[in-house]
Structure formats: structure tokens, C-alpha cells
Amino acid sequence: MMQGRFLRWVMAAAAMVPVAALAQAGDPKPWQLNMGRGVTATSQNAYDAHMLVFWICAAIGLVVFLAMGYAIFAFRKSRGAVAAKWSHHTGLEVLWTVIPVILLVVMAWPATTKLIAMYDTRDSAMTIKVTGYQWMWKYDYLGEDVSITSRLDRESDRIRQSGARPDAAANPYYLLDVDNELVVPVDTKIRFVITADDVIHSWWVPALGWKQDAVPGIVNEHWTEISEPGVYRGQCAELCGKDHGFMPIVVRAVPVAEYEQWLAAEKARSAPVAAQAAPAPAAPAAG
Ligand SMILES: [Cu+2]
């Protein structure tokens, strides 16, 4: 009877919930609702922690609203229901304290382990120094003598200066493309040291799963290990001046062999410049 109907309600509502949370990978898509799964252990850990909490919240919401709906419907005044008069129930009070505590521990335990792993930059295979400038990024491959400056690509810049309305079909990466991409190897633990030269910026590539402030005079660090080759885009995430919206980030993750080739080519390209920049030897004194 009444109970059978209640059970059918519960089952119908439960069937509707999974539609809300579908896993998504890589870069954000237009109208994406959930956070992305990303391409690093850090981003996937964050995604898993988020989904665990999401489902716990969804279950609590479901139980509370169903109980409330049932109470409103079944014990309505028109049916002659009279409110119970009690002010204290030890058993219930213990229950509604203990259950949330257990739930908090269940959520905090994995979240803390993941957070600790997220900040552990030890045993990195390489280090890249990221410096934020108004309004571009500089990447130094430490120990390799390779430096690149990465700024908004010419086409995006031309469109924005022209005042024309950008066309998403013709320029899908409008304001999300750069002249020089940050090339990194996959399956390699890369440490990033992040700072700025003028004002506070923030280096953020959603698919990597973290965002780090770039503060003048301070060196922050983070790490990443990308599992899938691909191009991952991001932006400066700190209001850093009038062109804050025009300093995108493009990370190109390639297989290790391809990265080695790229690095060798970059070294060869920058070597003559370095030689020119070196001070000329002092002329021998005339005797
Ligand atoms: Cu910035």
C-alpha cells in the first residue's frame, strides 16, 4: 500500500540521478557541466575525490528530500495529523552526530592522502621554471640552457585588435593559442618552479589538475606527470592587468624520444644567440 508506493518513488528518483555526473577527459568542452578528469594523476585524484563527495551529497540530498516529501504528504493536516510533542531523543541525537562524523572521515582520509601526493615534488626527472610577465610566459628548462617566451598567437592578437567578432568555427582556439608552446615529455615527473617578474599571475592548465600563483620574489613549486600525448590549454588565472585575458598557456605533451629531438633542435637554435651574447674577450694591452 503506502509503503509500496513510497518504495516506487525512491526507485524512480534513484534512476534519474546518474545522468547528472558523466566523466569527461582532457580540455573543457563548451557547456561541460562536471569537472574534467584531466590527464595527470593529480587531476584524476582530484576528480575521484570530487565524485566521491558528489555521490555522498547526492545520496544525502535524496534521503532528506524523500523523507521530507513523505512526511509532508503522509502527515498532512487535512488528514488529521497531529504534531508529536517531544523535545529530546538521545538515540536520534547520537545517530545524527555519528553518521556525519563517519562521512567526514570517509571523505577527508582519501582527500588528505591525495593532497600530500600533490605537493610531493621529490624524484622529479626535470625542472621547468615558469615566469609570468605582463603579458606573456617565459619557460626555462633548467640545466638545459633552453628558454622560450610564449605569448598570444598573432592571429588571435590581430582579431582582438581589429574589433571584429571572432568566429568559433574559423578560429576554435581564439585567445587560447600561443606562438611558442611549452613542449614536455609524457610519462615523466616534471617539477615546475613558478614565479613572476612584475605582478601576481597564476599558471593554470585545467587538464593538469592544478593552478599555481606566480608571485614576484617568491618561488612556488608543483609537479606534473602527463600520461597522454596531446595539447592542453590554459590561461593566466590571476587578474594581472589590462591584458590578463591575453596570456594563454599551451602545453604540448609528446613521447620522450620526440621531446629529446625537440630539445636538441632548440639547443642548436639558441646556441649561436648565446655565443653572440657572451662578452667579447678583452683586447691584449698594447705594450
Ligand atoms: Cu597574468
Average pLDDT of the chain, as a whole number: 86
Sign of the CA dihedral with 264 first, then 270, 275, and 277 last? negative
Instruction: Calculate the alpha carbon distances from 3 to 80, 83, 84, 134, 246 in Å.
Output: 19, 21, 21, 65, 60
State the pLDDT confidence band at 22, using cuts at 50, 70 and 90.
Answer: very low
Distance from the CA of 132 to the center of ligand 1, in angstroms? Answer: 6
Distance from the CA of 200 to the center of ligand 1, in angstroms? Answer: 7
Distance from the CA of 214 to the center of ligand 1, in angstroms? Answer: 8
**Protein residues near ligand 1, an ion, with CB under 5 A:** 201, 236, 240
Distance from the CA of 201 to the center of ligand 1, in angstroms? Answer: 4
Span 95-131, pLDDT tens digits: 999 999 999 999 899 889 999 999 899 999 999 999 9
The mean pLDDT value for 40-68 works out to: 94
Q: Does 58 have pLDDT greater than 90?
A: yes
State the pLDDT confidence band at 274, using cuts at 50, 70 and 90.
Answer: low
Domains of the chain: 2-77+89-118 (1.10.287), 126-274 (2.60.40.420)
- Could you tell me what percent of the chain has a pLDDT over 90? 69
Distance from the CA of 198 to the center of ligand 1, in angstroms? Answer: 10
User: pTM for the whole thing?
Assistant: 0.76
Q: Quick one: pLDDT at residue 279?
A: 54
Q: Quick one: pLDDT at residue 32?
A: 86
Distance from the CA of 215 to the center of ligand 1, in angstroms? Answer: 10
